[in-house]
Structure 1
């Protein structure tokens, strides 16, 4: 969940200061989540590699799953990039490719994971990853969307929210 919120790091300070956070549609949220999912998995695996057994799911199966999603990243790129640009309140420079944006997000997410994930978190992350493994990527990000909306409903203040398409 925090990894999805890291997408909002692209947003500028004036957007963060607004009374109502900007919103993305469910489809945009799913595209952004699928766009960054490989970076999140790779970052968590890198951070936890020294703290998990060599046969841990996060170090093996999760990387294969992330590789599959990464191969399909281009399909989610246009929607994800457009949503991120709108969340930032500025236009992204012309010519920013999904690969460039993906690389930037990858670096940001990995840096965040290094500071936020403790060695004690690694076994729980591995367990959650292995429990979610049977879900296709589309279902996984659908579940993330449900959890994100539930956090919003319970009063969490994310830097962006999921709203209906007509609210955009």
Structure 2
């Protein structure tokens, strides 16, 4: 289950970046807060895409089929997260992309491009587990869910470091707590 969640978090974070930035992203890391901001910003569109993909394969009683409230709850958090997400994306994408993110069109463009890319990674076989995960985290505040996703992303980053692989997007190592 950790692998599924961490893969999802990796897809989400990695695909939040423009493709040319991926090489630079490997050498950059985001703080926990920056990673959370990117995840919160993309959440409403990702939830919508997940619902679109999974609805045909899930029973009528499935959480994703009966709850539109989750996307609405994340919409406010998404709007609040955009300034920090913009800075995080600019940090990883580099100085050539940063000025483009200041445009009023950047926020909707980033989300409308990224969500379908991430959603293309969702397979029908993933839907029951995704539905369960979302139903379990639904009562939590969006910020907590983003924090959980970043924590799983950090686990995946640690595994990648130990195996000599490079993560497509790295969350900076947190100091020992």
TM-score of the superposition, structure 2-length normalised? 0.78
**Equivalence for 2:170:** 161
Task: Give unmatched runs, 5+ long, in structure 2.
Answer: 1-8
Render the CA deviation track for 1:22-64: whole Å, top value 9, x for unaligned.
1111111111111011111111101111111223111233x31
Cα distance in 2, alignment partners of residues 94 and 150 from structure 1 = 29
- The reply on whether 1:150 has 2:155 as its aligned counterpart is yes
Residue 76 to residue 52, structure 1, CA distance change in 2 (3 Å) = same
1:39 equivalent to 2:45? Answer: yes
CA displacement, residues 100-155 of structure 1 (integer Å, 9 cap, x when unaligned) = 423432333224413x2222221111111112222211111111111111111111
Query: What is the root-mean-square deviation in Å for CA atoms of aligned residues?
Result: 2.3
The residue that corresponds to 1:70 in the other structure is 75
Unaligned ranges ≥5, structure 1: none
The CA distance in 1 between the partners of 2:167 and 2:30, in whole Å, is: 12
Q: Which consecutive segments of 4 or more residues in structure 1 shift more than 4 A?
A: none
User: Contact conserved, 2:82 with 2:107, CA < 8 A, in 1?
Assistant: no
Question: SS state of the match for residue 101, structure 1?
Answer: helix
**Aligned with 1:72: secondary structure?**
helix
Partner Cα separation in structure 2 for residue 120 and residue 164 of structure 1? 32
Matches within 5 A, 1:91-102: 91-93=98-100, 95-97=102-104, 100-102=106-108
Q: TM-score, normalised by structure 1?
A: 0.81
**1:94 CA displacement:** 6.5
The verdict on how the C-alpha distance between 1:32 and 1:151 changes in structure 2, with shifts beyond 3 A counting, is same
Call closer, same or farther: CA 1:43–1:150 in 2, change over 3 Å: same
Structure 1 position 96, deviation (Å) = 1.9
Distance 2:167 2:115 in 1: 17
Size of the aligned set, in residue pairs, is 159
**Residues 30 and 172, structure 2, Cα contact 8 Å, conserved in 1:** yes
User: Is residue 12 of structure 1 aligned with residue 20 of structure 2?
Assistant: yes
Question: Does 1:118 find its partner at 2:133?
Answer: no
